[in-house]
Amino acid sequence: MAGDRAMSDVAARLAAVRARIDAACARCGRDPASVALVAVSKTQGADAVRAAYDAGQRVFGENYVQELVEKARALEDLTELRWHFIGHLQRNKAKDVASVARCVETVDSVRLVEAIAKRVDASTPLEVMLQVNVGGEAQKSGCTPAELPALIDAVRATPLVLRGLMTVPPLGQEPEASRPHFRALRELAQQHGLRELSMGMSADLEVAIEEGATIVRVGTAIFGARA
């Protein structure tokens, strides 16, 4: 009974997040269909992913390679489920991620581009997004804006599909404090002719949408506190 209640809670929270996305789009005159939701399921059990899938969610994000591979195996019967990898990726794990993910959102070096490209099945195109450290944080992954042109060229020289840019703003701030970082990413995307922007999480998805996000990555607001 407790398990059933927990699963219904996932469905209710997912509906609330979708309502937030719809409301944010309405305020800034955007079509809600222009914003994709990635449900971040890291540290959550496969049952929680199934509950969100049953409630209509199809795209899920994982931060850790082993957890991604294990969940993909456990949930392979969910034929419409699509995985995004949204954590830091080491080159020696590229093969594992490329075998199950539809999109890698955290590509941040030419060497990583090359490692992923070597392991892509030509019959199943892999999408990538380039992570930009717009906040200039020394401890955070992501290329610098100055490094971005070379990274774009590297991806375009491979079979990988360049989808757009991704960022994680400095944590622990009020949602409005993320706005300059989201705006900077949008301006970079415009400079390089890229349309997709993955930015915004549970706390600041509205600000991200106002600044042009086409993908928001939401975990806690859907699944509750992480285990």
| Rounded Cα–Cα distance for residues 139 and 161 (Å) | 28
pLDDT in tens, 184-221: 999 999 999 999 999 999 999 999 999 999 999 999 99
Convert the pLDDT of each residue in 127-147 to its tens digit: 999 999 998 887 788 999 999
What domain count does the chain have? 1
* Cα–Cα nearest to 117, from 82, 157, 147, 153: 157
Residue 101 sits in which domain range?
A: 2-223
CATH number at residue 69: 3.20.20.10
pTM of the prediction? 0.94
